[in-house]
Amino acid sequence: MTRPLRVATWNVNSLTARMPRVEEWLTTVRPDVLCLQETKQADAAFPYDAFEALGYQAAHHGDGRWNGVAVVSRVGLDDVVAGFGSDLDVQGPRLLAATCAGVRVHSVYVPNGRSLDSEHFTAKLAWLEGLRQVLADHHDPADPLVVCGDFNVAPDDRDVWDPDHFEGMTHVSVPERAALAALLDWGLVDVFRSCYADGGLFSWWDYRGGSFHRGWGMRIDLVLATRPLADTVTFSLVDRNARKGEKPSDHAPVLADFAIV
């Protein structure tokens, strides 16, 4: 069998602060495609040259202090589209698409929502519905496509360390889980979940209170793939090692291997 296509996603919580860790990780893990979120950079500050030195092309969509998404690829990077081209873009640079090795790749940073009674929560639901609409309008679930990123939604109760703790909070509420389910219903598979049925497998841990070491996390970083791709998955992993050591992001990268190349 030929080498699989390795796709990864990582909310780096400032690429400026995290670039040494990202370079180290790319060197060891060598994903074919890496989707980044929360670069917190303007396009002009994005380190295109450093990625190129590692053999990667990159596209970035960011405006500075908040948000910012990128697609980094060593298997080609074509037809880059930034944002929605609609009023959803007022929520910041959170969506970037590109075609890599024939796969349409979306890097997404879903709005946090802040709290259930916040206008930002309403905006989060609208953003997720807008993303579903983009897929429905421009793509076919029979085509090879991935949506990777920080969804700021834990798909079900297995994906949080203590469901009772999150009662009344964002990331677990019925409407946002329904918005994520609607996305999946269009024709996407939660690839990591398709490999593991167990709970307690997380991708984000609060910086505060030793949450990582206590196991107080959530699985909110997802690789979603259309069925033709998802059916070829051979391996998926949350790289918890990237959450350890010096200056980690509060998110760990999630990767998935597809046997399509």
Partner DNA sequence: ATGGTTGCGAAGCAA
Binding residues for DNA, per CB under 7 A? 13-14, 16-18, 40, 64-66, 111-112, 114, 120, 161, 165, 206-209, 211, 216, 247
Which of residues 79 and 157 has its CB atom nearest to DNA in the complex?
Answer: 157
DSSP lists the bridge partners of residue 149 as 108, 222
E runs forming strands in 16-165: 33-37, 57-61, 69-73, 78-82, 95-100, 103-109, 145-150
Name the residue nearer to DNA (CB basis): 139 or 158.
158
Minimum separation from the CB atom of position 92 to DNA (A): 8
Sheet of 69-73: strand order equals 57-61, 69-73, 33-37, 5-11, 254-258, 233-238
Nearer to DNA, 145 or 160 (CB): 160
Nearer to DNA, 138 or 247 (CB): 247
In sequence order, the β-bridge partners of residue 226 are: 188
CB of 94 to DNA, least distance (A): 10
| Shortest separation between residue 108's beta carbon and DNA, angstroms | 14
* Residue (4 or 64) nearer to DNA, CB: 64
Nearer to DNA, 6 or 251 (CB): 251
β-partners of residue 31 are none
Rounded Cα distance between 222 and 8, Å, is 9
Least gap, CB of 20 to DNA (angstroms): 11
Residue 142 CA to residue 187 CA, distance in Å, equals 8
What is the rounded end-to-end Cα distance, in angstroms, of the chain?
9
Specify the residue, 16 or 241, whose C-beta has the smaller distance to DNA.
16
- Beta strands in the chain, from DSSP E residues, in sequence order: 5-11, 33-37, 57-61, 69-73, 78-82, 95-100, 103-109, 145-150, 188-190, 204-205, 217-218, 221-226, 233-238, 254-258
Beta-bridged to residue 35, according to DSSP, are 9, 71
Q: How far is the CB of 154 from DNA (least distance, A)?
A: 13
Shortest gap between Cβ of 248 and DNA (angstroms)?
8
Please report how close the Cβ of residue 114 comes to DNA at its closest, in angstroms: 5
Tell me which residue of 144, 150, 225, 154 sits closest to 188, measured CA to CA: 225
| Closest C-alpha to 37, from 222, 246, 230 | 222
